[in-house]
Structures are given as structure tokens and as C-alpha cells.
Structure 1
């Protein structure tokens, strides 16, 4: 697939966790960005399309990783938590990644052979969240977990790391997850003050202006978090690579806090949609893939220049909202949040 296929995701919320309106509202907003970003890759030859694509990539996955860390902060590896993790992460990963690779081979002839353990598109975030969640108790017990996670993110691209379960991206984006783990409702609520919201809007606008002015000189591969510094995609020395990734971490954190700050604190229809981002995340890629390989809609829209870009964005927003509907959730919950009681031993029979 294209470079855009590395973008994507959602945090899976344990059923026992009370819903928090602004968290769900933020997830809704970020999911809109995810669905827009995938087809947007085909418009990066337009200045406006490239600037928006870069801006979205700087924000959406760092923000989702941070929210995932917050939601998963109490994970201890109990039998119930393990079963829930297998149900909402492992099974969907296998289904979605296998389906994507089969369809991709049908349309393009690759990958050949199939590489189920090397995610090629949206399923990478499920693999990352699975690994992050399993290591959550470790991060809770380290003395300086945030510093350690940042150091890991900065030094991993110095060497070759295989893409098994998207390890390069998983470690690259680790600081956002770990920082999210140590957020609290009180800390999030401090972001809701008028002064902070004004500053948040200023941050997002300033980054957007920078993307509009300079993104033609930037390689979007930096925002994929998977390449070695010395690879052709980045072509950076170790010091240049560490410096650039440090800037990306800072910008990602500022933008993540900003979008959470600006998310509504009221419970609305967006909150209800935000509860169902899992289905939208896993399903929207099939729609984009079908349109890309069976129609010429993206080329036609690109020919319309900025008008086509606006039409594409409107269509992506409509698709995202439709895939976050209750109807879709009812239809796909048995698949993506399956009941696996039959596969696990009754908890009372587990050895003490």
C-alpha cells in the first residue's frame, strides 16, 4: 500500500471503565482525522493536500497513543483483562491484517508471501497497543518511565529493527503511551481553562501555518516513526535523526494536549460516536482500498484540484460518522469484540 497506510487507530476502552465525555469527544475528532488522512495521501501533489496530510500525521497517532495510555493505565494482566485484550486486539488484528493482505494480493499481487506478523496498514496500531498494554505494569514500576521511554524512542532508529508486530513504530511512539498512563482526570481538566484553550488553538494553528509554508521541504516519512535514521527515506546522521525525532515528540505532545484541551466536555452525539471508534478504525480501510483499486475516484477528484480535495474531505467525514454508528457497532461487535469465554478456563479453576 501507499505511505498513508501506516496511519491509523483507536484505543480500546475496557467495559468497566466509566465513560468520560471529553475523552470520547477527542477520540471522535481524532478518528475523523484518521479517516481523512488515508485518502488524503493521494492529494499530496497539491500544496493544500500535502500541508494538511503532514499536519494530520503530526497529531493523530500521538494523540491516540496518549489516550490509549490513559485508558490502559490500570492494566495489571488479570485473567479478565487478558481475555478482553485477546478479544479486542489479538482477534481483530488477525482478522483485519489477514483480510488486508489477501485483498492487497488480489489487487496488486503483493505481499508475496503473506506476512501476517508484519502489519502493512491499520492493524499496526492493534499490535502496538497489545505490546504497550502488556508492558504497562513495567512502566508503572520504573523510577523514571517517561525518560526511559523517550530514550528508547530516540535510540531505536540507530539500528535495524525488524517490523514484527510493528516494533519500530511501537517503540518510536512509546513516549506518548507512557505519558498518557500518568495523566489523570485532574490533569486533563486543567487543559480546559480558557487560557489553555486559547493557547491550544494557537499551537494547532501555528503548526498548520508551518506545514503550509514548509511541508514541501519536509519528508513525511519522519511522521511514520518506523525508519532508521540512515535509511534513504530519512537520510539523516544519528545526531540529525535524534534532534528531528525530539522535535517530533515535542510537537506531537503539544498537539495532543491541544486537541484534548479543545474537545467538548459535554456529552453529545459525538461522544456516542467516540465510544465506537474501534469499528470505524478497522473498517474504513476496506472502503478506501476498494475505491482505490476498483474506481478512479481519487484521480478524478485530484483533477478537480482544491474543489476535489474539499469533496474528498467531506466524503471521508461522512464515512467516518457512518462507521461510528450504532448499527455498524451492532453488526460487527460479535467479530471485533467477540465473547471468548469458551476459549479461556473458568477463573475459579485457575491455579492459586
Structure 2
């Protein structure tokens, strides 16, 4: 099945749109911030507030953006090879590096690529999305079925983190939503790439502020029920501690909240060129490399107990922004391109088909 895009959408796909690069950079920087402050949330209420506020929507927004730039037609040979070169091969390379690091630091002697290390789950999720989207596009109401799969998966304990399956199914609705937004031509129809009306931006701020107030007002309750695990989409309801039938309703509410907050986020993102636009073209470098920078800090326990203060919290937030900028620099991209953007021409019968594509797995157009 081949989807024909509206004329405006086809044109948008061919030119750089600062909105998407700005959004990608903010999303991936929030990923870094979330991972940087994670060790503080057990000892700091303010850290948990930031964590819950961000985790409610930042990965769903990332998935929506990735889905927007995905194609639902039957893949050709080149597109199938891109799954290997853009997703599977970088995943195996990074998983091997992580195994080596954990062996040297922790003495861990296990290489198990079926269980993705730390941040690598998203690469596998993107691969799964690419493989199943052509099939979803063949059936009626694909978004409905994606939501049904996400909710239904939570009732089965045997759908676990193997090959990132539980998380991939959990956030599938956001990826499909992004694809449907493009297919419906909503961005062009409502001129969403243009600067949004002041009242719409104000509404987005009010909604975001309301969510922040809810997080702060009920923080002891959120800590008690461990709300953060609902935002991971990687556990069954029983695994989270809810064995009641209404666990699926809670996940549906979490999905709806994430969509609402993601929409507010996209309304507030600058539409024009900004200082962060260029950095948004190096999303995968930031995402895949930041964990190595944070790993020593997390393993030393530096951010726990007495160091779980507001000063340390702010320090880690600003440090995360600096890390994102540094990892998106031309020098870092040049040094780490062989593992982030491998070119295994030797692997394929048609050697030209194995070359790195112009678009990375999140939809960002690569430089050079």
C-alpha cells in the first residue's frame, strides 16, 4: 500500500523545517535531563517534580515526531537495508560497547543483545515501528488498534523488555499518531508550521502549568503509587502494582495526557531558525552518546543523599544542556560517525544501497 501525501506535505518533507529540528533538540535534551536527575528523585521532591513533569510527555513527543516522518508504503530494498544500517547495526555496535564498559567497570560478564542496555530500547522500538507500520496502514482505524495494543499489552506479564517489545507496543500509539497527522495533512491544513496565535500559546502554557500544579499538589501520592513507572510503558499493570481490571483505563488516561502535553509542547516550539536548530540535526548522536557521559556520575552515587539538593538539581539540568550541545558539535559527529552512522557497503550485494541515508531514524536530515 502506498500513501499519497498532500502536495504541501510532500513539499515539506523535502525542505528543512526549523520547527522539527528545534523540537527534536528540546526532546532529546529533556531525555538527557531526565537521565541526569534520575538518581536524585528518591531523595529530592523537586527532582521528582521535574522528572514527572517531563516524563509524562517527552518520549511520546519524540515518537510522534519520528512517526510524522515515517513512510507507510511497502518498503523497497533500499528502505529495508536502512533498517539494518540505521537501526540494527548501530544497536549491535552500541550494545557491544555497553557490554564492554559494564565488564570493565562492574565486572558484568554477559552479552545479551535481546535486552537493550539503558537508552538503546528506543532504537529497537523505531525498528519495530518501521516494520509494522506498512501492515497497520492496510487496516481500518490503525490508530485505534495501536491504542488497543498498548492498553492490552499491559495485561500480559509475558510481554516484557526482550527486544524492547513491551515499551515499543506501549508507545506505538504516539508513533502512529505522528504518521496519521502527516497523512491527514493537518500540519498544512491548520498551518501549524507558522507562528501560532497568542491565545493558543497561552492555552498551551496554561495546560502545562496545570499539569505542573497537579504534580506538585499530589506529589506524596504520586511517589506512593510510583507514577513514574506508568510513563515508561515497559511493565505490565501487575508489575507496576495494579492488578485491577481498570489498569487499562489508567494507561489510556496516561496516553491522553501525553498527547495533550505533546501538542502543547509543539505549539510552544519556535518556528524559525534559533540557536538550537542546527543541534536538532544530530539527535541520534546526543541520544546514543549521552549515557556514556552520565554513566560515571550515576554509578558513583554522587547525586544521592546530601547531594540531592536544589543546587545540584539545577547544576545537572544546565550540565545536561551543555552535554547535548557538546555531543551535537561537528567534532563529536566526525569522531563518532562510524558507529552512529555506519556505512557497511561490504555487507550488501548492491554496495551502493548500503550507504548511509540522508535521514536518521528520528526523521532528521543528516548533514553532509
With the length of structure 2 as denominator, give the TM-score of the two structures: 0.84
Matched residue count: 329
Q: 1:270 aligns with which of 271, 276, 279?
A: 276
Give 1:11's aligned residue: none
Q: Distance in 2 between matches of 1:348 and 1:35?
A: 35
Give 2:20's aligned residue: 23
| Counterparts in 2 of 1:187 and 1:54: CA distance versus 1, 3 Å | farther
Deviation at 1:217, TM superposition (A): 1.7
1:1-352 alignment to 2 at 5 Å? 17-44=14-41, 45-74=43-72, 76-110=74-108, 113-159=110-156, 160-184=158-182, 185-186=187-188, 189-190=191-192, 192-218=196-222, 219=226, 220-231=228-239, 234-293=240-299, 295=300, 297-299=302-304, 302-303=306-307, 305-346=309-350
Deviation at 1:286, TM superposition (A): 0.5
Q: Does the aligned pair in 2 maintain the 1:62–1:176 contact within 8 Å?
A: yes
Q: Distance in 2 between matches of 1:253 and 1:205?
A: 16
With the length of structure 1 as denominator, give the TM-score of the two structures: 0.87
List gaps (5 residues or longer) in structure 2: 1-12, 354-368
Residues 191-242 of structure 1 show CA distances to partners (whole Å, capped at 9, x for unaligned) of 83333222212222111221122233221111111111112xx221342311
3-state SS of 2:257 partner: helix
Deviation at 1:98, TM superposition (A): 2.3
Q: Does the aligned pair in 1 maintain the 2:151–2:170 contact within 8 Å?
A: yes
Over aligned residues, Cα RMSD in angstroms?
Answer: 2.2
Q: Distance in 2 between matches of 1:297 and 1:51?
A: 20
Q: Does the aligned pair in 2 maintain the 1:119–1:166 contact within 8 Å?
A: yes
Q: Does the aligned pair in 2 maintain the 1:93–1:127 contact within 8 Å?
A: yes
